[in-house]
Structure formats: structure tokens, C-alpha cells
Structure 1
Amino acid sequence: MSTIKFDTVEDTTTKRGALTLEGLQEENDFYRGKGGISEENRAYGFKPAFYDMESGTVYDSKFANGHEAPMHVLDGLPNDVVASRLSDGKVTAVRPGIISGFVQRGHFYTREQAALATAQMRDRTQMLSNPQQHNQLLAAWEKFLVDEEYPGDFIRPVVGDSWRRCYESQTDPELQYAPLLSDSDQLEHRRVIQADLLKAAHPILQRASQVLFRTDSLILLADAEGLILDVKADEGVLSQARDINLVQGGVWDEKTAGTNAVGTALAAAEPVQLYGAEHFCAGIKHWTCSADVIRDPHDGKVLGAVDLSGLTDTYQSNALDFAIMAARLIESNLAKDYFHSRQQVIEATRTMFLGWKTEGLLAFDRRGRLVRANQQAHPTLKLLGADLVLSPQCRLPALDLELPLSKANMPVWLEKQLTLPIELHHNIVGTLVVLSAQH
């Protein structure tokens, strides 16, 4: 699967405040080949559109005559969002807060989010293990531990790269089992932090455990640090898994437990299948595992991994497909919750945004993700010296209501701003920030 690096995006048009024709071309050039332009994601049901950060309204991309456009054009946007036109009426710029993206099934995706959703599978031949090479792999591993060399004709790149990382981090190749997080309070704390991920994964793991009944396989969910949060399997399989701490609380990041599907998938940020001898640590070489990472639909951040594991005699090439499918289903559940959360904030803040005319307003959902920003917010944030890109992918961890409040997470500019709870049907669904530079 191609890896999209969201943190390298140079969103210059958004930082300038106004989307222009030149800005659209720059975005197209940047996202070409990554799934973030119309010609590359149309087959997946994505239609070019624009999101208004002030109102939360989504506008389909249209030509000036009102007909649907197959690419991003500014001419069909309503007059109240247009900033400038040529003498012939062609729109050259729109006001700050208009974001280009796509609509799929009624939900707006930024270009980054669409790129993530349409990322294609890479060459499958390099993703699958070959059980027939078990003895050669063992010999190669022993040679690697002596002089860091091995025959390069059958060691897959994902395995060789991982072995080198393990060697450089001085991971113990004779390790017999992964460490176990023995502090139950700390484990519960990590599970609370990942409540959204656990909720999204629960029905998938539950269903998978029924499918895997009596297959001598288990399915597990790990967080981004490789800590196993949940495991589903028959008691017989769990009994064997306990021997290597492949259970809840087991720590399976690559530096700690060596080359393994969970840790290596997280390190490489892509699907990984490993068979027996391909593992780096001796005690794990009688297991086979397949894993894929789970990404946040909001910003593409890796949240964790889902893994299908069993003893080597249970090897099935389609186990990787199973893990990939499970990861996509979990991401789908996360996306449903994300879009529902966004809609709740839009609905709950309609009167707020009508009532405040002179102050800058920012509306965040419960997880600190920006949903709305009025026009006054742009100049006020500039006066405050806040380096904040106002787009649907903006996030402030300090406003995450699911996490303990930490002064360390609070941006300096935010400390003196008025924050109010956003309520809908007697439930708090987010936070409203009322901006003022007069402090």
C-alpha cells in the first residue's frame, strides 16, 4: 500500500487565507499520483467539492452554468463566497475558509483524506511470505547475526529492512517472548485513551473471532506503540499465545519484540505478513502473523494495527487479506463516528455563529478537531500569532475532551481565550473558542 505522508503537505493556499485558481493548480500538482485529484479517485465515488469552514456547508464543484464539473472549478460557487472575478465573470479567488476536497456518500473529505481513502495496494508478491523458504531463512538469520550479511535473492525488503532496524536498536535476537505491561492501571489508561479505536474495532474483532473459531488463529488490536489492547481467540490458542505474551498487555513494537507483523507494520506503516524464521527473535519463530495499520480518517495518523496470528503450521496466504479487510472495516467505523461528530457540531453551533458577529469563532468537536471557523477568526488568529491552518484537518489536542487536561498541550495563544461547551440535546459535543486579541 502506498504511504501518504500528510505531515509534509504544503497547504500554501490555506495559509494565505484565500483559495485561488493558482492555488487549485498547486494542489493538483502536489496530489497528482497520490489519489487526491479527481481523475484518480473518481472511480471510488469521490466528486470534487468545496467545504465552507464558516457555515459547514459543502458545495459541489460546478461550472458557471450550474452543471456538475468533473474537476475543481471556482465558477459555480455562490456569490457570497467569491472574493474576485475577471471582467468576463470568471472567478479567480474565493474568501478565506473555503477548502477544496471531495464528497463521497454525503461526507466531505479534504484532499489528504481522499488520498488516504484511495491509496492503492502495492505489488502483492513482495507482501506475502513463502513457507517453503523456512530453512534458508533460518540460515540467513544466523549469518546476519554474525556479520549483518545474508543472501539477497529471497529476503524480502520489508524483512531485511526490519532486521537491520532491530540490529541497530540492539534488540535481543534470543528473546523468547515479548514483555508484558504488568501495571493494570496503566493498561486501562492506554485503553481509555484509545476508546474510539476500541469501539470501532469491537464488532470487527467479535465477528472475526466467530469466523476464526477452531482455526488455531487469533485476531488482536494494538495501539500505535504496539501495545496489545484486545485479543479474540479460542482458549486453546490463547493458552499458546500466553507463552510469548501475544495477549492483552503484550508490548510488540519492533524495537522491543523484534521483527513481527504488528511492530513491523507500525514501523513501515503498511501491511506486513511474516512467516516463522522471518521474525527476528528466536522465541517467536514458530509463529506466523499478518497485520495492517489502522489510520485516523481525520488526519491519516496511524492509530494502531490489527493482526491475525497463529503457529507456523496454520499459515494461510489469505490471512493478510483478512487483516487488511479488518483494518479497512475498523477505519470505516472510525469514519462514521468522525462524520457524525462533525455534523453534531455544525447543528449545535448554528445559532452561536449567527449570534456572534464581531468576535472570531472556532468550533471543535469532542476530540479537538476543527469543524467551523468564521471570517473574523482569520485576522484575529494572525494578531494572536497563532500558527493554525483553518481546515477540517486542523486539530488541537488541548481541546480533546476525552483526554486529561494538560497545560503542556495548551498553545500560548489559546490560554487567555474564552472557551465554551457546545451542547446538543443536553450532551456536550465539542468546544467553542471565542477569539479576542484584546488581552
Structure 2
Amino acid sequence: MPINKSGGADNKVPKKGALTLEALQEENDFYRGRGGISEENRSYGYKPAFYDMESGVVYPSKFANGHEAPMHVLDGLPDDVVATRLNDGKVTAVRPGVISGFMQRGHFYTREQAALATSQLRDRTQMLSDPQQHNQLLDAWEKFLVDEDYPGDLIRPVVGDSWRRCYQSQTDPELQYAPIISDTEQLNQRRTLQADLMKAANPILQRASQVLFRTDSLILLADADGLILDAKADDAVLSQARDINLIQGGVWNETTAGTNAIGTALAAAEPVQLYGAEHFCAGIKHWTCSADVIRDPHDGKVLGAVDLSGLTDTYQSNALDFAIMAARLIESNLAKDYFYSRQQVIEATRSMFVGWKTEGLLAFDRRGRLVRANQHAHQTLKQLGADLVVSPQCRLPALDVDLPLASANAPAWLQQQLTLPIELKNQRVGTLVVLSAQH
């Protein structure tokens, strides 16, 4: 779900730069009401902490006496990351590259990452369909196609918004099935691009298919464009799903397939359940489906969706809970891989960051996500005029080693810098950028 935008009084975006007492207060004001402050996420196991981009070390928030603090305070940070103190010893600023966030289960989350994770737990709105309204909804749909109007008390907002998007994009309401990518090579290429998502989802889909055995339902994984990457179900159910291309290769975004749980969840970026007549296209109105989006634990980007579908006589209100749970489990697997990737880079670059004293260094994991940055990097990036926020949530797609062609779109400043592979146990785990302003 999207993060709730309510927050502090002025709701100003915190300034980027060295962390000071004023900056810390700005962050608290900005993330208040969003799950990015201690009092709002403590019950989920998050503890306030600081991440040092240079060393990769995480420091729990502590008072000056060494006791753990229940909120973010600077006084307990070690001297080597402190920039300024008052005469009484109170820390007023830390050096650039120290980020406030939270520790949970041994992993560091930025405030934004923690806010995203907790918003999915706190704000899970159950948007359930009502099968009893099927005939009324059919009448409302026919009226909508004539004059774009319908009874406001009958159509749920998520459905009405979707119908309007479909109408405006001129989606065919008489469509009988979704389009499909039938070219095997093209489909395999698209699936290869989503290797991380498919790897994280596979054990969840396998387990779900066992649970769903002989339930006349199927579970589906789609990418952010609504392309079905994988489908698990009994052969009989898959046979029925083929009639509308609700199978691997089917393209189920709203523009191509109208209102449907996959496409509408992706468009609304939230969990969605649809029953029969709530679908926009005629050929899909005898199906019911529930879906939730899957987000990247690194930056919250929607990567795809997981969907539970069946014919209308298989409707169960808890299907949406099932889809939401599957999405969270997939995200948990993605998070494990993400944090493991971060730790690999930290381990592989220890000697580099100790030995290279005069160069600006940026260490990225294999997907182009920033893990480490030394002090020289901050100044050199300014000299280069690079629009790069030095944070664990920074990502440079051009450094994604799994996308060989991505480097062609590297920003101009990066094209002038030396890049070296980061290897650990004879395997590439990322990329080191050695910064120089002398070009």
C-alpha cells in the first residue's frame, strides 16, 4: 500500500546532507504518521539506529551513558562519526554519510523502508467484493458504458476509478480474453529480466499450489506490466484459465484487459478484490480474483503482483487475505536476498575502503544499489555536479550487472569514472566506482 501522506505540521521533505539535531527533528516531523518514527513502529520490532555509509557499520541509538535509547539520539554515537559537540559533550552533528533508520531482525532499514514495511501492516484496507450485488453491478456497468454514470452507493471507489481509466484508455468492454505473448523466446526474455522476483516467489507459489489443490483456484505471479510470469493450479483449472489467457504469457494490465485484480492492483498500488460484474470486460465477468502488489524492499518500487483467481462460484472473502499474505512472504524473500547482497559488498570491500585513502569510493551491489561511500566521495560528487543522494536507497540502474545494456544509459558524470568489479569468492557481487573530478 502507498505510505500514508499525513504527517507533521509542515510536512516538509527533510534536507539531504550531514545529520544534525535540526535535521533529525525534520525527519521526525516528516515521517510522523507514516511509520518512520520509533513510537509508530516499535511494536513491529524496529529499533532506532544509524548506518555509516563509509564502514557499513550499524550503530544502535544510545544515550551518552551507553544505554539504548527508545528514539533517535546522537549522543551515544562513537567519536569517529561525530562532527561537532557542545561544551557539555552533547553531539550536534555527525559526519556526512551517517543515515538514521532502524534495525529489525539484524538488518538496517532506512526510515522510508521502515515506513513502507509498517504501512503494509497498519493500513491493510480490506476491499471486499459483494457477490450478492452481481446483477445490480451488471446493470450499473451497462449504464456506465452509455453515459459514464453509475450509482455512487453501489460501485466501490477502487472499481469506479478503474472503470474510468479503462473508458478513457478506450479499452474494449466486449473483450473476451486478455492478449498473450505467444512467442516463447520473447516470453523467456521477459521472465529472465524478472529472475529475482521469480526466485523469491517460487517457493511461495509452490506451497500455495499445494494448499489450493482441487479448490478450482489458481495462483499467479505478474510483473509490473501485468505480464503473467508464472501460474500454478490443477490442470483442469488451467484449462479453464486458458480460455481468457489467464496463464503464463497473458498480459493483464488495465489498458489491455480492463478492470481485473492484477491490473487494478498495479494501477492503484494496493490490494484489490473483484467479483464477476466488477470486471470491465465482458469475457472476464464470470471470474473472481484477488491480488496485492509486491514491492522492492530497497526503494518501495512496485515489482509486480500476486493473484488468486477462479470462476465466480469459487468466491471466498478470505482470498484477499491469502493474496496479501503471499505478497508479504515474497517480499520477505526479496528482503533476505537484498540484505545478503549488501553484506557481500561490505565484506568484499573492507580492504579497498581501508587502503584507498585519497580517492572517492562508491560501492554498489550487483543490482546497482549503493552500499558504501567514503568521505571523499561526498565532496567529489559535488564537484562533478552529480545528482546522487548518498543513501542506502540510492540506485544506479546503469550499474546493474544483470542488465548488460543498462550501462549505455549511464549518467554523464558516471561515464567519466573508473569502475571496477567487486568480487567475493571468485563471484562478482557488485561494482566499485572510483571517483575523480579531474577529467
Normalising by structure 1, we get a TM-score of 0.97
For the residues of structure 1 that align with 2:93 and 2:79, how far apart are their CA atoms? 11
Deviations along 1:59-86, one digit per CA (max 9) or x if unpaired, are: 0000001010000000000011111111
The equivalent residue for 2:186 is 186
For the residues of structure 2 that align with 1:266 and 1:10, how far apart are their CA atoms? 28
For the residues of structure 1 that align with 2:347 and 2:3, how far apart are their CA atoms? 35
For the residues of structure 1 that align with 2:124 and 2:325, how far apart are their CA atoms? 17
Contact 2:4 2:33 in 1 (8 A): no
Q: 1:58 to 1:10 in 2, by over 3 A?
A: farther
Contact 2:12 2:26 in 1 (8 A): no
Task: Give the Å deviation of 1:2.
Answer: 4.6
For the residues of structure 2 that align with 1:121 and 1:245, how far apart are their CA atoms? 35
Contact 2:129 2:275 in 1 (8 A): yes
**Bigger mean CA offset, 399-408 vs 261-270:** 399-408
Contact 2:209 2:233 in 1 (8 A): yes
Number of positions where the alignment pairs a residue of Structure 1 with one of Structure 2: 433
The equivalent residue for 1:316 is 316
The equivalent residue for 2:345 is 345
Letter in 1 for 2:417: Q
SS of the equivalent of 2:209 reads helix
The equivalent residue for 2:357 is 357
For the residues of structure 1 that align with 2:19 and 2:68, how far apart are their CA atoms? 20
For the residues of structure 2 that align with 1:112 and 1:55, how far apart are their CA atoms? 21
Contact 1:176 1:283 in 2 (8 A): yes
SS of the equivalent of 1:328 reads helix
Deviations along 1:72-109, one digit per CA (max 9) or x if unpaired, are: 00000001111111121111100000000000011000
For the residues of structure 2 that align with 1:123 and 1:138, how far apart are their CA atoms? 28
The equivalent residue for 2:58 is 58
SS of the equivalent of 2:23 reads helix
For the residues of structure 1 that align with 2:154 and 2:208, how far apart are their CA atoms? 32
SS of the equivalent of 1:201 reads helix
Task: Give the Å deviation of 1:407.
Answer: 4.6
Contact 2:221 2:228 in 1 (8 A): yes
The equivalent residue for 2:19 is 19
For the residues of structure 1 that align with 2:4 and 2:404, how far apart are their CA atoms? 30
**Bigger mean CA offset, 116-125 vs 146-155:** 116-125
For the residues of structure 2 that align with 1:228 and 1:3, how far apart are their CA atoms? 26
Letter in 1 for 2:431: T
Task: Give the Å deviation of 1:11.
Answer: 5.8
Q: Percent identity?
A: 84
**Bigger mean CA offset, 188-197 vs 213-222:** 188-197
For the residues of structure 2 that align with 1:10 and 1:436, how far apart are their CA atoms? 33
For the residues of structure 1 that align with 2:4 and 2:377, how far apart are their CA atoms? 30
Letter in 2 for 1:318: N
The equivalent residue for 1:287 is 287
The equivalent residue for 2:130 is 130
Q: 1:180 to 1:199 in 2, by over 3 A?
A: same
Contact 1:2 1:122 in 2 (8 A): no
Letter in 1 for 2:156: R
For the residues of structure 1 that align with 2:111 and 2:40, how far apart are their CA atoms? 12
For the residues of structure 2 that align with 1:407 and 1:353, how far apart are their CA atoms? 24
Deviations along 1:174-208, one digit per CA (max 9) or x if unpaired, are: 00000001222221111111100000000000000
Verify: 1:163 aligned to 2:163, yes or no.
Answer: yes
Deviations along 1:366-417, one digit per CA (max 9) or x if unpaired, are: 1000000000000001111101000000000000011122354201001121
For the residues of structure 2 that align with 1:371 and 1:202, how far apart are their CA atoms? 27
The equivalent residue for 2:44 is 44
SS of the equivalent of 1:199 reads helix
Deviations along 1:214-239, one digit per CA (max 9) or x if unpaired, are: 00000000000000000000000000
The equivalent residue for 2:118 is 118
For the residues of structure 2 that align with 1:374 and 1:122, how far apart are their CA atoms? 38
**What residue ranges of structure 2 are gaps of 5+ in the alignment?**
6-10
Letter in 2 for 1:377: A
For the residues of structure 2 that align with 1:415 and 1:395, how far apart are their CA atoms? 16
For the residues of structure 2 that align with 1:275 and 1:349, how far apart are their CA atoms? 52
Letter in 1 for 2:150: Y
The equivalent residue for 2:298 is 298
**Bigger mean CA offset, 390-399 vs 405-414:** 405-414
Task: Give the Å deviation of 1:4.
Answer: 5.7
The 5-angstrom pairing of residues 372-387 of structure 1 reads 372-387=372-387
The 5-angstrom pairing of residues 210-225 of structure 1 reads 210-225=210-225
For the residues of structure 1 that align with 2:125 and 2:433, how far apart are their CA atoms? 47
Letter in 2 for 1:414: L
SS of the equivalent of 1:300 reads coil
Q: 1:297 to 1:4 in 2, by over 3 A?
A: farther
Contact 1:4 1:116 in 2 (8 A): no
- How large is the RMSD of aligned CA atoms in angstroms? 1.3
SS of the equivalent of 2:404 reads coil
**What residue ranges of structure 1 are gaps of 5+ in the alignment?**
none
Letter in 2 for 1:132: Q
Q: 1:121 to 1:49 in 2, by over 3 A?
A: closer
The equivalent residue for 1:249 is 249
For the residues of structure 2 that align with 1:134 and 1:3, how far apart are their CA atoms? 32
Contact 1:178 1:244 in 2 (8 A): yes
Letter in 2 for 1:171: T
The equivalent residue for 1:79 is 79
For the residues of structure 1 that align with 2:74 and 2:192, how far apart are their CA atoms? 44
The equivalent residue for 2:261 is 261
Contact 2:286 2:311 in 1 (8 A): yes
Letter in 2 for 1:435: L
The equivalent residue for 1:429 is 429
Letter in 1 for 2:172: D
The equivalent residue for 1:229 is 229
The equivalent residue for 2:197 is 197
The equivalent residue for 1:278 is 278
Contact 2:14 2:27 in 1 (8 A): no
SS of the equivalent of 2:243 reads helix
Verify: 1:366 aligned to 2:366, yes or no.
Answer: yes
Letter in 1 for 2:307: D
The equivalent residue for 1:329 is 329
Q: 1:158 to 1:121 in 2, by over 3 A?
A: farther
Letter in 2 for 1:90: K
Q: 1:392 to 1:136 in 2, by over 3 A?
A: same
